[in-house]
Homo-oligomer: A and B are copies of this chain.
């Protein structure tokens, strides 16, 4: 299954930036794209994941799976983010065994959200 790795590119990670300076979030995004992104992972930049006090942040999601948000990242973590995203993509249900998650995913979780399942209307009762 192809999963989406959203990377917040507007994140300042609490830093004061000079005018025109690249944000830490954009640097993380560029660092990820500069590595070999595995098949099954689509990297999508996003403006603000609303985790500003815990940035930089990324989110992993896919239809029918738990979504995960990780924070307190920098461009130095690009490789581990890709490793974790690849493991999420490869896990049949998206749930990666704890020990196989990179340390930043074990220790820097901001949140996870259960799968979004459309509510199925009850079938019409037979007459």
Chain A interfacial positions (CB closer than 8 Å to B):
2, 4, 6, 42, 44, 46, 48-51, 54, 57, 59, 61-63, 67-69, 71, 109-114, 116, 118-119
Contacts and interface: CB of A to CB of B under 8 A. Distances in A.
Contact of A113 (B61, B109, B119): B61
A112 B52 CA distance: 11
Residue from A4, A57, A71 whose CB has the most chain B CB atoms within 10 Å: A4
A116 B50 contact: no
A89 B12 CA distance: 31
A71 B111 CA distance: 10
Nearest to A61: B116
Contact of A63 (B54, B69, B111, B118): B118
